[in-house]
Amino acid sequence: MLRDSYGLTGRRLAVQANSDLGSLPFHTHANWSRGTSSGGGLYPIGIHWLSGASGPLAPGVYYYDTPRNAFARTLSGDVTGEVRAALGDLEEAAGTDQFLVLGVTFWQNAFKYNSFSYHVVTMDIGALLQTWRMWARAHGLHIGAALWFDEPRLGRVLGLDPEEDGVFAVVPLTWEKTDEDDTGKEAAPATPGARVRHVPDERSRRVLTFPTVHAIHAATLEGAADRPAPGTLDSALVTPPGPGERVALPAPLALEATVRRALRERRSSFGRFTATAPLDPDRLSAALAAAVAAGTLDTDAETPGAAPLTRQYVFVNHVRGIAPGVYEHDREKNELVLMKPGDFGGFLQENYFLANYNLEQAAAVLVPAARTHTVLDMVGDRGLRLVNAVIGATAQAVYTASSAAGMGCGVALGFDCVSFAEELGLAERGEIPLLVMMIGNEAPRPAGYRFDIVAP
């Protein structure tokens, strides 16, 4: 699961529109592929496996080495009692001594995005969690995550610097075991003095820091262990769609590719969209179904079976049988509700800040929006992590579904959020557009190079 989600799987070169095209042929600037998308940082998420006595390895803390697809033991001994204590009354944690803990070292994204990095890495967390959810579901398993816990306590165990690192999610794991496995075994006690001491050293002579990142992180630490009560988020969930002419979508295209294959084939289109042939509507339906499925992340703050936190808006450019215009998606009926008819290709391109995507050539542009301010009002500033994680999960789900459906996909943060909110009229709903996700057909027979590190 870790290799399919966050490990290196190969190297790719292609003729595309991204600004780093000229440097990619050099080994020092190689573009290494992986299953999970990210906002452009250098693998900003650290994956720590805290294993107790019931696991397949000696109890301890293990760090996932992404280039080598291997674990490095950083602490010996069972410290899962500390994890359970940090998680409080979380039911899923009571019956296990196996946990994946996701940490973030801010510089691994801030070197590129500066003060914007916190916004990006919180989405990266959701993208990785969604990959694990899809992978687990394909294997008949279920994975959920805790976002509310005693973060300073877990940070101390992992030896993290609270000024430079954060703990963003804890994933309890359940191993298959027999009755004999539990004979004579008790849950490990809390070990407040245990901590990882083998931590990276800073070699830079001068370290740049970003006050905005520190301020946001400090705000999200307030009440970190105060898990929201069930139903707290109900007023922040999406409401029914508004009035308008409706277009029924066909059933989503059956995605026959395995999750592993879809993850291996996933990539960003970067300017390769073409409107020569319109997109089949069942492929659009498949992308929207994936987005809806990722609208809830099975976290400790969400109510199972409740409505999602996100609504999908769709700019239709070139979809067979659907007139161009702006629509909102009715997830329950799988219908598009027309908001404004017309060609919005010019608007999309003018309000995208970079030159690496031709949005007017994409068949459709999906825009997930959430009521972020309402979430913060309900659960506090830590709710920012939840909203952004759901948005990141949505991006990963659409990427993977697009790969399985044989169409191109690209996700971007570099758009004019204010202009999109005004065009969509989101102020009345209190929603904020948080991503643009382009899907569509790509130009045939592209030039490219691919080397697989592991068998596809």
202-225 residue pLDDT tens: 788 888 889 999 999 999 999 999
For residues 29 and 20, is the Cβ–Cβ distance under 8 A?
A: yes
Confidence at residue 42, expressed as pLDDT on a 0 to 100 scale: 64
269-303 residue pLDDT tens: 988 999 999 999 999 999 999 999 999 999 999 99
Provide the pLDDT confidence category of residue 179 given band limits of 50, 70 and 90. low
Domains and CATH numbers, the chain: 35-221 (3.40.109.10), 234-440 (3.40.109.10)
Alpha carbons 456 and 438: distance in angstroms, whole number: 25
User: How big is the chain, counted in residues?
Assistant: 456
Per-residue pLDDT for 84 more than 80? yes
Query: What's the alpha-carbon Rg for the chain, to the nearest Å?
Result: 22
Q: Mean pLDDT lowest for which of 20-34, 189-203, 261-275, 388-402?
A: 20-34
Q: How many Cα atoms occupy the beta-carbon half-sphere of 106 within 13 Å?
A: 24
Provide the pLDDT confidence category of residue 456 given band limits of 50, 70 and 90. low
Alpha carbons 299 and 277: distance in angstroms, whole number: 40
Alpha carbons 48 and 236: distance in angstroms, whole number: 32
pTM of the model: 0.95
In the chain, the N- to C-terminal Cα span, in Å, equals 14
2-49 residue pLDDT tens: 999 999 998 888 877 776 777 778 888 777 889 999 886 667 899 999
Query: Is the model more confident about 133 or about 267?
Result: 133
Per-residue pLDDT for 454 more than 60? yes
Q: Mean pLDDT lowest for which of 24-33, 190-199, 351-360, 432-441?
A: 24-33
Confidence at residue 185, expressed as pLDDT on a 0 to 100 scale: 63
Q: What is the mean pLDDT of residues 137-160?
A: 96
- Residue whose structure tokens are 């659409």: 398
Calculate the average pLDDT of the chain: 93
Q: What percent of the chain has pLDDT over 90?
A: 78
Alpha carbons 334 and 247: distance in angstroms, whole number: 9
Confidence at residue 180, expressed as pLDDT on a 0 to 100 scale: 54
Of 413, 424, 408, residue with least CA distance to 362: 408
Confidence at residue 2, expressed as pLDDT on a 0 to 100 scale: 96
Confidence at residue 453, expressed as pLDDT on a 0 to 100 scale: 86
Q: 88 in helix, strand or coil?
A: coil
Of 118, 65, 32, residue with least CA distance to 387: 118
Of 120, 92, 98, residue with least CA distance to 108: 120
Confidence at residue 450, expressed as pLDDT on a 0 to 100 scale: 85
159 in the Ramachandran plot: left (φ > 0), alpha (ψ -120 to 50) or beta? left
Per-residue pLDDT for 455 more than 80? no
Confidence at residue 191, expressed as pLDDT on a 0 to 100 scale: 87
- Residue whose structure tokens are 């009755």: 179
Q: ∠ at Cα 351 (347, 353), nearest 5°? A: 145
Per-residue pLDDT for 181 more than 60? no
Q: What is the mean pLDDT of residues 249-257?
A: 97
Q: Which residues contact 444 (CB under 8 A, 6 or more apart)?
A: none
313-363 residue pLDDT tens: 999 999 999 999 999 999 999 999 999 999 999 999 999 998 889 999 999
In order, the DSSP letters of 350-395 are HTB-SSS--GGGSSEEEEEEE-HHHHHHHH-TTHHHHHHHHHHHHH
